[in-house]
Chains A and B, each alone.
Chain A
């Protein structure tokens, strides 16, 4: 129904307070209490440390594969069920590996957050 807007009933004081808050629109960073802040700082360092291992594994895998192919051209001759090993290594292997890496990191990252 047009022109039929619902209005919240409130005391004049509340209305005044609300309209003031609306004017003062700037977003302020909410504060953490000292204990929370300390925990957050510790978590920041911990998450950074945790991310290093998966990153190294990933880099070794991704930078390593082209090198492996370059160093051992014989891999192309090697077949599993008629498919060259290099294709298996590029088309099948990376996706489960990436998922496993992600699942591993997820668990560690969430465990770190859950610690008491």
Chain B
């Protein structure tokens, strides 16, 4: 019970701090430009902290450690890809995107290609990707809170939604910027401090503690560190490397079992149904979910087979190009004062992310030793939260656990607030008229609709794997952005067809993959990570269709393109947001008329 009180205190502190910072910075927000792009006044360091705070979602805070626990060396590619995406953003997109003067991603599409239809399509995709992203965040928050308190899961989702909506309601992007920057440092502390303490305890305690655990390089499976009883919540297929003696109550391989059982390598995989209880003895080998490396030496070595290599490359491509297609990341680059600051932001982001990702990797490796039972249930995301009390039983472990829980909660808050701002920015300017009250109304929708979905849908229904949502972003917005900035002959027809084809292919492979999971796993591995196929097809489609419709090139093309690449010093920063939402004075200042200045 003590641990729960600590964790609850941590969550409450994060919530109060978030509220306070949001409230403080909302006081100066009054215009549409404040709400959309924080009046383009965010300096590069602050913006970089905010980008990182928003980007490090639960998938990074909890998921990376869980992936390392399950997949070992192969999982190390995820954080590398998450980070490398910002290099691509810096090389090709950041500065020209800011210099275009646009205020949302759909607005960029219209500014560049001059088509209202494309703008509408882009707006639809932004809302779709945004909601697809928010729902798992809200569901994960609900689960995290219901693990602490005996309350239904929707309460946690509701709390996060309310905090986010209130903040965004008060000051939009203006309010969110400071909150997200704060939450990056909070998350860094919340993962770094416990990791360092746990590592010191691990090393101080004599490393592997004699014969209790399997060394990470031995050709043996991990072992249970104590008698463990597990309840299977989702059906799993389990594999064993050696004979395992256990007690099973429930349904295994379709037969009802009750009492002690022997699992052998010959009999595996074992299909365990929901509600089955498995009891393992201390020191016995841990069965793992099919597909994950069984023994620790396999876990330690990067996989080298051809198909794994293709999957790795496909994942890297999705992460590398997907980052620049994420609307909630891009919208933060519109808040910089100029193109140069936008470029500098990415450099700082690279540093901040690299610093952060060291810690989840360490935690993942430690959890292979101390919480191997998560390999049986498959809920490896819980590793970060379960580890502290296992290494340091007692008060210290409880406090460390509470700090990590608070960090995870900050991750839910910052990511969902970024997503809600980007979705409501698009809704308010493309569907509504773009006044402040429209933005507030859109916020209620952008927060309320995902909340309803999060409550109605079961967690497994919608939660796209991280790789999939990046593949979707890489196959829709990435080609339009890259070619829009660097290729003269892009037309809006090409962009639209490319987005539909790319997005459609990713969704189709998602559907096929889900079907194959239920009907015997016949789908090839590439369907689970289709970027290597869908991204080139999307690019090709855009190029071919654009070449076929040269008449649709915008009339003032040369001017538009030059402006994206003109250095800030030429005095361009003429702002589409000012043109549309500014006061008459502001707009008078940016026109070229006789009365200028």
Contact = CB atoms under 8 A, between A and B. Distances in A.
28 contacts: A18-B588, A25-B579, A25-B580, A27-B579, A27-B580, A29-B559, A32-B562, A36-B566, A36-B570, A40-B563, A44-B561, A51-B92, A58-B87, A63-B313, A73-B304, A84-B217, A86-B302, A87-B73, A87-B76, A90-B77, A92-B358, A95-B350, A98-B83, A98-B87, A98-B354, A99-B351, A102-B347, A109-B95
A25 B434 CA distance: 13
Nearest to B68: A91
A95 B83 contact: yes
A82 to B, nearest CB: 9
Contacts of A47: 565
B513 interface: no
Contacts of B217: 84
Given A27-B579, A84-B217, A102-B350, 6 more contacts: A21-B588, A30-B574, A41-B565, A70-B304, A86-B302, A95-B357
Contacts of B559: 29, 31-32
A51 B361 CA distance: 31
Q: Top 8 nearest A-B pairs by Cβ distance? A: A95-B354, A40-B566, A44-B565, A18-B584, A90-B76, A113-B567, A40-B562, A27-B579
Interface in A60-107: 62-63, 66-67, 69-70, 73, 76, 84, 86-87, 90-92, 94-96, 98-99, 101-103, 105-106
B350 A21 contact: no
B21 to A, nearest CB: 28
Task: Specify which of B346, B566, B590 lies most central, judged by the most chain A CB atoms within 10 Å of its CB.
Answer: B566
Contacts of A73: 301, 304
A21 B304 contact: no
B465 interface: no
Considering residues B76, B302, B357, which has the most beta carbons from chain A within 10 angstroms of its beta carbon?
B302
A4 interface: no
Interface in B530-566: 556, 558-563, 565-566
Contacts of B76: 87, 90-91
A8 to B, nearest CB: 8
A21 B584 contact: yes
A44 B76 CA distance: 36
Contacts of A109: 95, 343
Contacts of B576: 27
Interface in B344-383: 344, 346-347, 350-351, 353-355, 357-358, 361
A79 to B, nearest CB: 8
Interface string B296-307: 000011101000
B188 interface: no
Nearest to B353: A95
Nearest to A18: B584
A86 B111 CA distance: 46
Contacts of B566: 32, 36, 39-40, 43
A99 B344 CA distance: 11
Given A62-B316, A99-B351, A90 B574 contact: no
B257 interface: no
A73 to B, nearest CB: 6
Interface residues of A, number: 51
Interface residues of B, number: 62
B77 A106 contact: no
Contacts of A70: 304, 309
B2 interface: no
Contact of A91 (B95, B347, B361, B565): B361
A66 B302 contact: yes
Contacts of B579: 25, 27
Contacts of B568: 113
Interface string A41-64: 101100110010011001000110
A92 B569 CA distance: 38
A73 B76 CA distance: 17
B80 A90 contact: yes
B567 A21 contact: no
Contacts of A76: 300-302
A22 interface: yes
A29 B350 CA distance: 33
B479 to A, nearest CB: 16
B346 A102 contact: yes
A80 B92 CA distance: 37
B340 interface: yes
Contacts of A105: 90-91
Interface string B77-117: 10010011011001110010000000000000001000000
Contact of B302 (A22, A51, A90, A92): A90
Contacts of B300: 76, 84, 87
Interface string B8-26: 0000000000000000000
B351 A106 contact: no
Nearest to B114: A29
A114 B381 CA distance: 48
B312 A66 contact: yes
A6 B70 CA distance: 63
Q: Of residues A19, A91, A105, A106, which shows the largest number of chain B Cβ atoms within 10 Å of its Cβ?
A: A91
A30 B309 contact: no
Interface string B186-208: 00000000000000000000000
Contacts of B281: none
Nearest to B577: A27
B302 A69 contact: yes
Contacts of A113: 340, 567-569
Contacts of B590: 30
B185 interface: no
A106 B302 contact: no
Contacts of B347: 99, 102-103, 106
A85 B109 CA distance: 45
A55 B91 contact: yes
A86 B216 CA distance: 14
Given A58-B84, A66-B302, A90-B302, A98 B486 contact: no
A66 B313 contact: yes
Contacts of A19: 584
Interface in B280-302: 300-302
